[in-house]
């Protein structure tokens, strides 16, 4: 299995370099379980989902604590047939036989409810793509049912779902959407945008 995220962090401030560099230390606890590659457009994080999402959360929260309007854009993927398996991605969260959809929804809700607060409010929108399976819409509708009970669901939008709440619960919800819906060993992707401290929040 291969899982990873291409991420870009955008602080809306003249001191964007300082905000980004100041936030990078938040990745330190996760570095030994990630492969990290950076270029002039984005940063690639390769590792298991239970590391990817907390690392993205901690990076974003550290930047958002600056008080500046910050946005994180991420394309997250697992099981892509064009990527070779990578031992660093080994995980108990994906790859096994899928249990019944209703059981997965209940487990996902419990996981979000058990997530500690970060005291950083955020808004997010994302889309789930379940690839190469005939029942992909059942999985997507099951995920939508979960989202509506997650405690951070705000509304459906064209092509995506909007979430709002504490960063801990929002990132936990994204983790559950990524890991529990779609085939365990199949190709699943998320397209994510997360915002904090927006002056135009509505």
- pLDDT by 10-residue block (mean), the chain, 202 residues: 95 96 96 95 95 98 97 96 89 73 93 97 97 81 95 96 98 96 88 96 65
Spatial CB neighbours of 54, under 8 Å, sequence gap ≥ 6: 30, 171
Euclidean distance between CA atoms 5 and 33, whole angstroms = 14
Domains of the chain: 3-196 (3.30.70.930)
Q: Is the pTM of this model over 0.85?
A: yes
pLDDT, residue 202, reads 59
DSSP 117: P
Q: Report CA 3 to chain centroid distance, whole Å.
A: 12
pLDDT, residue 6, reads 98
Q: Which of 59, 124, 58, 53 is nearest to 94 (CA)?
A: 53
pLDDT, residue 183, reads 80
SS3 79: coil
Query: Residue 53 belongs to what H/E stretch?
Result: helix 49-64
pLDDT, residue 169, reads 98
pLDDT, residue 184, reads 78
pLDDT, residue 1, reads 87
pLDDT, residue 103, reads 92
């Amino acid at each position: 299995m291969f899982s990873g995220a291409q991420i870009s962090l955008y602080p809306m401030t003249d001191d964007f370099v300082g905000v980004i560099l100041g936030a990078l230390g938040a990745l330190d606890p996760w570095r030994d379980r990630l492969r990290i590659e950076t270029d002039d457009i984005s940063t690639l994080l390769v590792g298991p989902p239970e590391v990817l999402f907390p690392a993205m959360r901690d990076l974003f929260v550290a930047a958002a604590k600056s008080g500046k309007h910050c946005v994180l854009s991420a394309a997250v993927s697992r099981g892509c047939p064009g990527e070779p398996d990578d031992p660093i991605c080994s995980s108990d969260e994906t790859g096994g036989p899928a249990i019944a959809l209703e059981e997965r929804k209940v487990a996902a809700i419990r996981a979000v409810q058990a997530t500690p607060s970060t005291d950083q409010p955020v808004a997010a929108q994302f889309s789930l793509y379940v690839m190469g399976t005939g029942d992909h819409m059942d999985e997507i509708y099951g995920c939508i049912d979960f989202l509506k009970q997650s405690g951070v669901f705000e509304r459906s939008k064209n092509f995506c779902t909007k979430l709002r709440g504490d960063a801990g619960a929002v990132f936990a919800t994204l983790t559950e959407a990524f890991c529990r819906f779609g085939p365990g060993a199949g190709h699943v992707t998320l397209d994510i945008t997360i915002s904090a401290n927006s002056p135009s929040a509505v």
